[in-house]
Structures are given as C-alpha cells and as structure tokens.
Amino acid sequence: MSEKNLTFQYCDQLVREFEEVLENPIISKSSVYYTGVDLGTACVVLAVLDENYKPVAGAYQYADVVRDGMVVDYIGAIGIVKGLKQQLEEKLGTELIYAAAAIPPGTDELDSGAIKNVVKAAGFELTSVRDEPTAANSVLRIENGAVVDIGGGTTGISILKDGKVVYVADEPTGGTHFSLVISGAYKMPFADAEVYKRDAGNHAELLPVVKPVVEKVSSIINQHIKGHDVREISLVGGTCCLSGIEKIIEKQTGIFTHKPQNPMFVTPLGIALGCTMECE
C-alpha cells in the first residue's frame, strides 16, 4: 500500500473517531486533556484529546464572530468558547485546562493577539498558536504537496516539502462568497443561504451555481503553487464539505486532489494535536 493511502487512512480514521465522540464522549479519566480551539468564520469548534492524543469529546457552534480570519466580535467569541468549554467539562466531569489555537497563514501580526486573548479569557491556559494549514497537516501528514484550507472568509495555502512548510499564503475568498452567490441566485437572505448550503441534500443542485467561485479558488491555488513541485492537494475547512468541490479543483489544477471524510474537523484536530502542558 502506498504512503499516500496510509496518510489518508490516518486522517479519516481520526476524523471518524472524533465524529463518534461528538455524540458519545468517552468518560474515562485521563491524566491530562488537550483542547484545540478553532475560531472559524462560520463555526467555532473545540476538539478534546486525552493523554494519548486520542479524541474523547468535541463540540461546535455556528457563529459570526470572525470574518476573513479576523475576530470582529471579541465578547461574542469569548462567550461561545467559554460556553462550549463548560458543556464539555460537564460531559467529561473534569476541568479543561490546556488549549491550543490557530490563525490563517500570514496573519500573525494582525490578529494572533485577539485569538490568544479569546482563548485565555474563556478560561484556558494557552500552549501554542500555529497557522491553520500547518495544524491541519498534523492530521494529514503530507510530506510533499499542498494543504488548502477553505474557510468561511479565506483560503489558506500551505506548501510542504519533506514534511516541512516552505510557503504559506492566505487569500480572501471562501465560504462567505459561496453564500453570497447562493443568496443572489435563490433570492434568499444571506443567513438562509448559509444554512441551505450546509445541507448535503442540496449540494448536487448548488455545485453548478457556485462553480465559478470554486474555479476562483482553483485559480488562487494555481497562482500560489506555481514554481513549486506540488503533486497532491489536500482540502480542509468547512467550505470543502460541499460535495464535488474536490473534482472541480482537481480538474482546474491538474493535480490529484484529496478531501478527507469530514474536512470541517481536520484543522481543529490538528490544533489539538499541537497542544501541550507547557504554556506560552
């Protein structure tokens, strides 16, 4: 079996385990719990791992506290993270102390402080902050290729060579633009378009509608991978849940494109894998 298949098997297995504990947390004592806090444009996700870095619990909430990778509702973000933290603590019967976070690539100077403060104000001891595609690759384990994180507001690209990040970029095109197109095409409010696109049952009819935006994302990918020996692309981020998006991107880039079982949870799990007991 090829290394590529093994890589994707690990990712999909970890995501499957996380999806199971979302519904049925594992209530067994661990010497420590590691939490990944993913402040997304459309959704805030908390992933909790045990002392062996195995998923034991998780929670998420759709929200509008981050736009284009920037925290725009500081108090609201704190409230959501604190609320999800309390929910998980009640389920696990223990306090969650340590957490890690992530930011879109290239935005460290602009917004890492706000994200750090949100996590700390919610009651966590912050242990690390990494860029989102790099965090995702902790789960994907790509040696040579590109991790493309299509979130609500931005598309983050991380190119890896021999397992190390050699290039990162972030562009303002993402799920928000999909929703704007759907809103216009169906003459529905933006908030309704957001909900409509999350229903997998609508994806077949929506794909032709949002295809121009997917092609725009593909052109962004092509622009940033130019000059790099990229032989595979892995898609993560909630927007990639759209059925068939990987086929359009593969056609437009000419590069094998893989989408994990549930791309929405890859980055939060990768963030949690980067959590330790040593605080910043």
Tell me: the pLDDT tens digits for 116-132? 889 999 999 999 998 88
Q: Measured between alpha carbons, how far is 72 from 269 in angstroms, rounded to an integer?
A: 24
Domain ranges of the chain: 3-136+265-273, 142-261
Average pLDDT over residues 169-196: 92
Q: Do domains 3-136+265-273 and 142-261 have the same CATH topology?
A: yes
- Greater pLDDT, 278 or 216: 216
Higher pLDDT among residues 151 and 193, named by residue: 193
- pLDDT band for 43, please (50, 70, 90 cuts): confident
**Which candidate, 179, 151, 162, 139, places its Cα nearest to that of 273?**
139
Model-level pTM? 0.88
Whether the CB-CB separation of 257 and 111 falls below 8 Å is answered with no
pLDDT band at 2 (very low <50, low <70, confident <90, very high): very low
Are 69 and 153 contacting, i.e. CB atoms less than 8 angstroms apart?
A: yes
Mean of pLDDT values over 85-91: 95
pLDDT value of residue 69: 61
Which fold is adopted by the domain 142-261?
Nucleotidyltransferase; domain 5 (3.30.420)
Question: At residue 6, does pLDDT exceed 70?
Answer: no
- What pLDDT score was predicted for residue 73? 77
Nearest 5 degrees, angle CA 82-CA 123-CA 86?
40
Question: Nearest 5°: phi and psi at 142?
Answer: -75, 130
Residue 93 C-alpha from the chain's centroid: 27
Confidence band of 3 (pLDDT split at 50, 70, 90): very low
For residue 106, what pLDDT is reported? Answer: 63
- pLDDT > 90? residue 108: no
Q: What is the pLDDT of residue 107?
A: 59
- pLDDT > 80? residue 60: yes
Q: What is the mean pLDDT of residues 120-145?
A: 89
Mean local confidence (pLDDT), 191-218: 94
Using the predicted structure, report yes or no on whether residue 224 has a pLDDT greater than 90. Answer: yes
Q: What CATH architecture applies to the domain 3-136+265-273?
A: 2-Layer Sandwich (3.30)
- The predicted structure's pLDDT at residue 244: 94
Q: What is the pLDDT of residue 112?
A: 55
Q: What percent of the chain has pLDDT above 90?
A: 61
